[in-house]
Amino acid sequence: MHIASRTVITALVFLLVFGAGGIRLQIFLSRRESRWPGLVLPLLTVLYALLLVLNLRDTGSVSQNVLTVAVTLLVGNIPTLVLLAVYWAAREKRRVKSQIDIMKIDEL
């Protein structure tokens, strides 16, 4: 029991560090002048969600298959939504900052 709980704690710490690093990387990429680097990680997570769908098995029922695919896509794209939210927030800050710079230049 002690070994299993230690393994779970280690896995959770690893996922937390990996997730924080991914979000930090997304912030860094989103702040670049070009908008394309910030869209790389969301694109990779969408492709991963599609890969998850391709790994599903046939359940025998069409309605159950459609439901399984829909749930898999929804759950698989949660990281995509998080990364896109970070992207939009970082780009909005960049847009506001550029507008303020333009206003300062116009005042001179």
pTM above 0.85, yes or no: no
| Domain count within the chain | 1
The answer to whether the beta carbons of residues 45 and 79 sit under 8 Å apart is yes
Tens digits of residue pLDDT in 37-78: 999 999 999 999 999 999 988 888 899 999 999 999 999 999
More confident residue, 22 or 104: 22
Residue 93 sits in which domain range? 2-107
Q: What is the pLDDT of residue 1?
A: 66
Distance CA 7, CA 14 (A): 10
Q: Over range 16-35, report the average pLDDT.
A: 93
